[in-house]
């Protein structure tokens, strides 16, 4: 353990980032106390997503192209979802505790600490399945890219990296937005954000297979398509106008902004324990229910 020494005066963004890392670090240490959990969660992530890829492969055994998309193109789209999922689990898994924290009054201590409550909630857990997802996701991404026949110039590599990170931030922003339902729904379960998470998983496949209404929902209402499909089209250079995918960083900023804004709206409604004047559900397991 390094001695913190005399803390320098930290201000603004730098202080926020430093505290975020410290919070995550503390939770990482407590998580690593349970070594078996770490292995179970990592292996689970690989099994779950791996089966998804086997499923894709099974379908493409019967057909070479789906709406003009080859197997490896779809794997690229799929891998972006897995990576976004992995990053959000590793760094912002705490958001899945929000309905528990809000509906049991657990937000109280967070409100009196001199640090943003949103960031405290986000950093309140490290999802160990994130490691499994990252490993598999990056492997799939690399395999898909090497089969895609895209010529890699320096700027395309840079573009791919920016899009990769922005795509994950879209996912994190949308997780935050949907989790804020905790302030309005009287349950300690994260059922609403979880069902929206499952809606987001529709973007593991090319957007063009869906009806117009579903496409509009996934690209405008809850723009999950910017987590995978649109960035992938920009990297591959086909499937949709390239400029749409280039909007990904802006969409990420928008989603994060909306998340923080709705969180603030929710905070105004927050009334501590017995929030909304109703006892919480007896079975506390609800706050554990989160995507594997």
Of the pair 161, 285, the CB lying nearest other proteins is at 285
76 touches 145 (CB < 8 A): yes
Say how many CA atoms lie within 13 Å of 55 toward its Cβ: 9
Of the pair 111, 214, the CB lying nearest other proteins is at 214
- Please report how close the Cβ of residue 265 comes to other proteins at its closest, in angstroms: 20
113 scored as a contact of other proteins (CB under 8 A): no
Per-residue contact string for residues 264-283; x = within reach of other proteins by CB under 8 A: -----------------x-x
Of residues 28-87, those binding other proteins (CB under 8 A): 34, 36-37, 40-41, 43-44, 47-48, 51-52, 54-55, 58-59, 61-63, 65-67
The binder of other proteins chosen from 15, 201, 222, 270 (CB under 8 A):
201
Nearest to 171 by CA among 229, 96, 256, 292: 256
Piece in contact with other proteins (CB under 8 A), picked from 109-117, 144-152, 200-208, 247-255: 200-208
- Please report how close the Cβ of residue 16 comes to other proteins at its closest, in angstroms: 29
Of the pair 249, 292, the CB lying nearest other proteins is at 292
Of the pair 43, 161, the CB lying nearest other proteins is at 43
The binder of other proteins chosen from 110, 116, 192, 260 (CB under 8 A):
192
106 touches 120 (CB < 8 A): no
- Please report how close the Cβ of residue 210 comes to other proteins at its closest, in angstroms: 5
Q: What's the length of the chain?
A: 292
- Please report how close the Cβ of residue 66 comes to other proteins at its closest, in angstroms: 5
Of the pair 163, 206, the CB lying nearest other proteins is at 206
- Please report how close the Cβ of residue 275 comes to other proteins at its closest, in angstroms: 15
List residues bridging with 66 in a β-sheet: 69
Of the pair 20, 183, the CB lying nearest other proteins is at 183
Of the pair 189, 226, the CB lying nearest other proteins is at 189
Q: According to the 3-state scheme, what is the secondary structure of the chain?
A: CCCCCCCCCCCHHHHHHHHHHHHHHHHHHHHHCCHHHHHHHHHHHHHHHHHHHHHHHHHHCCCCCECCECHHHHHHHHHHHHHHHHHHHHHHHHHHHHHHHHHCCCHHHHHHCCCCHHHHHHCCCCCCHHHHHHHHHHHHHHHHHHHCCCCCCHHHHHHHHHHHHHHHHHHHHHHHHHHHHHHCCCCCCCHHHHHHHHHHHHHHCCHHHCCHHHHHHHHHHCCHHHHCHHHHHHHHCCCCCHHHHHCHHHHHHHHHHHHHHHHHHHHHHCCCCCHHHCCCCCCHHHHHCCCC
Of residues 203-242, those binding other proteins (CB under 8 A): 204-205, 208-211, 214
- Applying CB under 8 A, the residues found at the interface with other proteins are 34, 36-37, 40-41, 43-44, 47-48, 51-52, 54-55, 58-59, 61-63, 65-67, 129, 185-187, 189, 191-192, 194-195, 197-199, 201-202, 204-205, 208-211, 214, 281, 283-286, 288-292
């Amino acid at each position: 353990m390094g001695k913190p020494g005399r803390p320098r005066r930290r201000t603004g963004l730098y202080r926020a980032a430093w505290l975020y890392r410290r919070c995550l670090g503390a939770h990482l240490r407590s998580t690593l106390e349970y070594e078996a959990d770490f292995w179970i969660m990592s292996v689970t992530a690989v099994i779950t997503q791996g089966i998804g890829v086997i499923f894709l492969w099974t379908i493409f055994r019967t057909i070479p192209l789906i709406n003009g998309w080859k197997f490896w193109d779809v794997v690229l789209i799929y891998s972006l979802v897995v990576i976004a999922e992995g990053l959000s689990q590793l760094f912002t898994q705490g958001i899945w505790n929000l309905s528990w924290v809000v509906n049991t009054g657990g937000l109280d201590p967070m409100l009196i600490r001199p640090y943003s409550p949103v960031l405290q909630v986000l950093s309140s857990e490290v999802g160990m399945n994130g490691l499994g997802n990252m490993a598999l996701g990056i492997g799939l991404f690399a395999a898909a890219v090497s089969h895609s026949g895209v010529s890699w110039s320096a700027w395309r590599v840079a573009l791919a990296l920016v899009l990769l990170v922005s795509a994950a931030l879209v996912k994190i922003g949308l997780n935050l937005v949907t989790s804020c339902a905790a302030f309005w729904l009287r349950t300690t379960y994260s059922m609403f954000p979880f069902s929206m998470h499952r809606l987001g998983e529709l973007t593991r496949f090319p957007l063009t297979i869906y009806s117009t209404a579903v496409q509009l929902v996934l690209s405008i209402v809850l723009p999950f398509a910017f987590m995978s499909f649109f960035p992938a089209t920009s990297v591959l250079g086909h499937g949709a106008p390239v400029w749409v995918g280039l909007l990904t960083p802006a969409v990420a900023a928008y989603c994060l902004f909306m998340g923080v804004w709705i969180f603030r709206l929710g905070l105004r409604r927050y009334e501590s324990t017995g929030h909304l004047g109703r006892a919480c559900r007896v079975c506390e397991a609800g706050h554990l229910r989160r995507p594997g």
